[in-house]
Each structure stands twice: as C-alpha cells, then as structure tokens.
C-alpha cells in the first residue's frame, strides 16, 4: 500500500506534467471567477454533446456550489433569515423546473414566519424617530430588493422573474395582493415559447425590440414591439414573443392581476416538451390518443422533444420569417387612427411634466382604452442625475414602481409603519385589553415613520394611496422608473412643494392658523421653489449654493436639457 506522502507527490507531479504538457497555467484550472467557469463549462458541453441537457446542468450545479462557498454557504446556526431564504431558493432551483415556483413560494412562507418570530426581539427600537438611515431601510416594508424576485423560468437565453406576493412582504400591502410584477429578459435572437397565464396582463417594453403574437380562437394577432410600448393581454390568451434584435436584450415588465387564486398566477405551456413541460403530458395516453387520433408513440415523441427551456435561441432566418407575418398583420401600428388593439407607445406621448430635472410620461384609459377595465395607469419617470421628483401623494392610486436604470433613493411618510412598530415593541407582553387600547390610540393622534430605501436597477417599491413620497436621483446617472398605478380612475396627484404645491392655494389667515406663523414667512418658504414636479435634488442644491455659480457638470446638464 502506498504511503499518503508518496501519493501526494505523485499527484502533484502528474498535475505539473499535465499542465506543462497542455500548455495551460495552473491559474486557468483554478480560475476563481465562477461566471467565467460556468461559461467555459457550458461551451465545452455544447461542443462535446450538443443538445444534451445533463452536462450543462452539472455545470450549473458546480457554479452554485462555488458561489455558495464564496458567500460562506453551508448550514449555519443563527444565520440571518435573508440568507436562509436565498439558500432555500437555491435548493429549489436545483430541483425540477415544474415544481420550482411552488418550492420558492414555500421558502418565502418560511422566511415570513421566521421574520415574524424575530419581531420585537433583541433589536433595539427605542426611538423610531432617531434611527440611522440603515435602520430605516431595513424596516421598510414597501421596498423590494433584487432578491425579492423569484425565477419562474431560467434558461441560458433568458429568464422570467416574478416579484414575491405583496402580502408575503407585509400585511400593509394586502390591498394590492391581487397584483404581481413580473420581469422578462431575453437574449438577442430568441424565441419565447407560447404560453398562457391565469392573469390579466399589462405589458411594458423597457428595452429592446421584438414581436409579440397572441393566439385567439379564430385568428392570430401579431405586433412589433419596441421601447415604450404598452400592451394589454387578456387573461388566458396564448402568447409568444421573439427578440428580433441582433445585439440588444429584450426587457419587458408585466403587471398582472390574478383571475383565479388571489395573488397567485401560473404560466401554462401547451407547446413544449420536457422543458418547458407541456401540460398535454399530464393527460393519460389513451385520452391523448383519442384526442389527437394519433398513436401514443408518435405523441410521446412530439411531447418529449423540447428540452431547451422556455426561452431559446432562434436563427436569424427563423426570426425574419416570423417578423414577416407580424408586419403584415392587420391593425399593427395603426393606433390611434384605427380600432387597433396593438401597442400604445408611452414615450411618443407628450410628457405630463418636463423640465431640466426630470420628465414624467403617463398613460391611462383615455390614451389606451384597454387599460380601462383593469383601472390601471402606466407611467415612466426619468429623473435627471442629481434631480428629485418633488414630494406628492396620489389621492387614491397605489403605485408599484420598478427601477429600470440608475441609482438614487426614495423617502416616504407612513403612519402605518409607525404604529406597527409601536405595537411590535410592546408585543408579547400585552394583554388583550392593552392591545385594544393601543389600537384605539392608533386611530387617534397620528405620527409618521420615515421609510427610505436606496434604489438601483431591478429593485422596486410601493407607494400606497395618500402617502407623501419623494424620489431622488444620484449624482451619477438618471434614475428611470416604470410605474403601474392601480385604482387609476379619477386619481389626482397632489404636489406638496414647488410651483404646484396645493398648500399655496390657502388664504393668508388659513396659512397663519395652520402653521401658527406669520403668512409672510410661510409665503417666502412656499414660493422659494419655483420648479414644478422636478427640481434640483439635495446634493445638486448644495453644490449650487456652495459653488455660487454653476459648476461645469451642471452647465452641461442644463445645456443638454437635463
């Protein structure tokens, strides 16, 4: 039997010989960039066994283990719930595709329960008014980070990710629990396999250009789609898409309203095979044989072929052919002249507000009739770098916001979080009677909690009706946000600062009584901000005051219309 030391020497020697013989450096073997390794591994799979599925799966498995190690993975006592959630989801992703979303829902449930237990625990919550901004961010039930999105579909060519159910995040969001936010991303020259959803859908094209096809009882509607397009898709309509661009990804945001089970929705793939799994496969063989009047071996073959997933590569030739059908489709791009059901381009519309500090586009049922029955408005805000969207509130809409580009932050005043935290501080050691008294108190004098979160692409937040909110773009780049607003009909946006500040309409006596200050002083403050809707943000204002004159960056921004 060989001694361990001999074995080690032999191993090292072999490794040395192999590495010198084949001319690669040792660092290549242990290249510590997992993404690179994943890419390389997949490439080798394609070359060796094209179309084979297990090989790339092994690559992904390796990749997951590696990244897990990197983030200090493994079972850990006292691991924080966010990490556990992520680890649980990873576990789901390693399982079979068709159970993945249920599995991830389960993880979220666990996470929520755990967080609930942690409430009122060891965290110091002595003074909610005087906490760090970090604390404000951690306790913000209205904010959704990138990890709040769960993969519904994930292939090499793209993915579909759904934001977790609003009620899973907080019971304060129960009012919009029937809505879901979903992102679809597809690589250049790809095909997204036909499917339908048990949800009403409003779709917005954030980036890229493609085609969308909707299969109806007697015809197929086919439209070209591009950046800024809004399109309504009825629940249950079978839809497929292509990204026809050779370079740009297609990035589509979907706002869903469930029609079956509140807050839940599912994709149904008919076309497909093993992956995406075709629902035809659920029927028994004799039923299928009778339905298709075809022997089972041929059916098994048909519904067993597709293994590449729901988003797949298409050749340019195939895409050209599909596109030809689309451009000849009736009604495409006739809006607003014909009775077309085709897309409506939001960015072609005059912005509701526009100045050097930002632009806001809004489309409601008056612009695009199909939004009417859902009572949804779609808006797109582009806040110039360093600028801010002045404080305002919506009279009756709740707003679901997705950040699509840039960085910044939002701040909101919320009486609910304030009273919830009061309750949780006293939670556990309260009698029923005390709780009741407490609740009555909350119906009484109102206090507010400032909630705040940093914003970056693929994060989101919710602004409930009546809540004053401010968004600020960082000094580096414009902050671009897509907003879906529910309860849109007869909603009013009330500004709380700037030229359109509703309080400016009050008479002298009314102001003096309200603020217990001389009217002159109030007017000076209310009239100082001459901008409407968008204005220089805190940083930009400070720079201006310090510099006295415009700095070089600002002059450029001003010149460029931003």
Which residues contribute to the site for Cu ion (CB under 5 A)?
414, 416
- Of residues 166 and 223, the one with the C-beta less far from Cu ion: 166
Smallest separation, CB 403 to Cu ion (Å):
21
**Whole-angstrom Cα distance, residue 229 to residue 207?**
10
The token pair that represents 556 in the structure block: 């450029």
Q: 37: how many CB neighbours lie within 10 A of its CB?
A: 16
- Of residues 371 and 451, the one with the C-beta less far from Cu ion: 451
- Of residues 450 and 544, the one with the C-beta less far from Cu ion: 450
- Of residues 298 and 447, the one with the C-beta less far from Cu ion: 447
Q: Which residues contact 429 (CB under 8 A, 6 or more apart)?
A: none
- Of residues 353 and 416, the one with the C-beta less far from Cu ion: 416
The tokens 């052919």 sit on which residue? 321
Smallest separation, CB 225 to Cu ion (Å):
36
| CB burial of residue 157 (10 Å; 0-12, 13-18, 19+) | buried
**Whole-angstrom Cα distance, residue 397 to residue 395?**
6
Beta strands in 131-189 (DSSP E): 143-144, 149-155, 158-163, 179-186
Distance from the Cα of residue 36 to its chain's centroid = 26
Smallest separation, CB 546 to Cu ion (Å):
36
Beta strands in 283-435 (DSSP E): 311-313, 344-345, 353-355, 358-363, 376-383, 387-394, 398-405, 408-414
Smallest separation, CB 469 to Cu ion (Å):
11
Backbone φ, ψ for residue 31 (5° rounding)? -45, 115
Helices (H), 306-370: 316-327
Smallest separation, CB 280 to Cu ion (Å):
47
Helix (H), strand (E) counts: the chain: 17, 26
Smallest separation, CB 473 to Cu ion (Å):
24
- Three-state secondary-structure class, residue 189: coil
- Strands 250-258, 179-186: parallel, antiparallel or unpaired by DSSP? antiparallel
Residue 143's DSSP bridge partners are: 461
Smallest separation, CB 464 to Cu ion (Å):
6
Smallest separation, CB 556 to Cu ion (Å):
39
- Of residues 308 and 416, the one with the C-beta less far from Cu ion: 416
- Three-state secondary-structure class, residue 359: strand
- Of residues 400 and 473, the one with the C-beta less far from Cu ion: 400
The length of the chain, given as a count of residues: 562
Largest Cα–Cα separation, the chain: 101
Sequential DSSP letters for 508-558: HHHHHHHHTS-HHHHHHHHHH---SSEEE-HHHHHHHHHHSS--HHHHHHH
- Of residues 446 and 560, the one with the C-beta less far from Cu ion: 446
The token pair that represents 24 in the structure block: 């690669």
- Of residues 416 and 511, the one with the C-beta less far from Cu ion: 416
- Of residues 106 and 448, the one with the C-beta less far from Cu ion: 448
Contact 498, 355 (CB under 8 A): no
Smallest separation, CB 169 to Cu ion (Å):
13
Of 357, 472, 458, 477, the C-alpha closest to 412 is 472
Helices (H), 119-213: 133-138, 166-169
Contact 199, 261 (CB under 8 A): no
Smallest separation, CB 402 to Cu ion (Å):
20
- Of residues 438 and 543, the one with the C-beta less far from Cu ion: 438
With vertex at residue 350, the alpha carbon angle to CA 552 and CA 406, rounded to the nearest 5 degrees, is 45
- Three-state secondary-structure class, residue 450: strand
Contact 192, 310 (CB under 8 A): yes
Residues 63-73, buried b or exposed e (16+ Cβ, 10 A)? Answer: bbebeeeeeeb
Smallest separation, CB 445 to Cu ion (Å):
16
- Three-state secondary-structure class, residue 500: coil
- Of residues 147 and 423, the one with the C-beta less far from Cu ion: 423
- Of residues 197 and 398, the one with the C-beta less far from Cu ion: 398
- Of residues 41 and 465, the one with the C-beta less far from Cu ion: 465
Smallest separation, CB 147 to Cu ion (Å):
23
Smallest separation, CB 176 to Cu ion (Å):
13
Smallest separation, CB 542 to Cu ion (Å):
30
């Amino acid at each position: 039997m060989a001694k361990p030391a001999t074995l080690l020497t032999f191993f090292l020697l072999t490794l040395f010989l192999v590495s010198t013989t084949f001319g690669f450096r040792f660092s290549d073997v242990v290249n510590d960039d997992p993404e690179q390794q994943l890419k390389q591994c997949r490439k080798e799979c394609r070359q060796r066994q094209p179309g084979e599925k297990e090989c790339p799966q092994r690559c992904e498995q390796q990749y997951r283990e590696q990244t897990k190690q990197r983030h200090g993975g493994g079972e850990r006592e006292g691991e924080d719930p966010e990490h556990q959630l992520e680890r649980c989801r990873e576990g789901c992703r390693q399982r079979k595709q068709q159970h993945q979303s249920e599995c991830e829902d389960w993880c979220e449930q666990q996470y929520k329960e755990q967080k609930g237990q942690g409430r009122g625990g060891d965290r110091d919550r002595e003074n909610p008014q005087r906490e760090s901004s970090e604390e404000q961010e951690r306790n913000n039930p209205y904010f959704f980070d990138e990890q709040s999105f769960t993969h519904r579909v994930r292939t090499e060519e793209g993915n579909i990710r759904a934001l977790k159910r609003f009620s899973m995040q907080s019971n304060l969001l129960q009012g919009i629990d029937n809505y879901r936010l979903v992102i679809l991303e597809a690589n250049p020259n790809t095909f997204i396999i036909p499917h339908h959803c048990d949800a009403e859908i409003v779709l917005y094209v954030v980036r890229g250009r493609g085609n969308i096809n909707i299969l109806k009882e007697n015809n197929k509607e086919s439209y070209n789609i591009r950046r800024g397009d809004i399109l309504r898709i009825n629940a249950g309509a079978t839809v497929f898409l292509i990204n026809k661009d050779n370079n740009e990804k297609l990035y589509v945001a979907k706002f869903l309203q469930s029609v079956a089970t509140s807050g839940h929705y599912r994709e149904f793939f008919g076309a497909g095979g093993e992956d995406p799994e075709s629902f035809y496969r659920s029927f028994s063989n004799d039923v299928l044989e009778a339905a298709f009047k075809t022997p089972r071996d041929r059916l098994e073959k048909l519904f067993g072929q597709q293994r590449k997933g729901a988003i797949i590569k298409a050749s340019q030739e195939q895409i050209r052919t599909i596109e030809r059908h689309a451009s000849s489709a009736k009604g495409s791009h006739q809006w607003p002249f014909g009775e077309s059901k085709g897309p409506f381009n939001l960015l072609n519309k005059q912005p509701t507000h526009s100045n050097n500090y930002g632009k806001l586009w809004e489309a409601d049922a008056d612009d695009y009739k199909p939004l009417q029955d859902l009572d949804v408005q779609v808006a797109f805000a582009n806040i110039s770098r360093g600028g801010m969207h002045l404080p305002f509130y919506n009279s009756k809409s709740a707003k679901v916001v997705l950040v699509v580009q840039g960085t910044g932050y939002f701040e909101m005043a919320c009486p609910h979080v304030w009273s919830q935290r009061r309750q949780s501080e006293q939670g556990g050691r309260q009698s029923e009677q005390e709780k009741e008294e407490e609740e009555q108190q909350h119906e009484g004098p109102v206090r507010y909690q400032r909630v705040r979160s940093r914003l970056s692409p693929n994060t989101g937040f919710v602004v409930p009706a009546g809540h004053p909110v401010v968004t600020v773009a960082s000094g580096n780049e414009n902050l671009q946000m897509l907003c879906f607003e529910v309860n849109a009909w007869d909603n009013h946006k009330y500004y709380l600062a700037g030229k359109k500040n509703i309080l400016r309409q009050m008479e002298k006596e009314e102001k003096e009584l309200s603020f217990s200050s001389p009217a002159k002083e109030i007017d000076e403050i209310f009239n100082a901000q001459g901008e409407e809707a968008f204005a220089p943000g805190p940083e930009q204002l400070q720079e201006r005051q310090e510099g006295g004159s415009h700095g070089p960056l600002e002059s450029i921004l001003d010149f460029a219309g931003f």
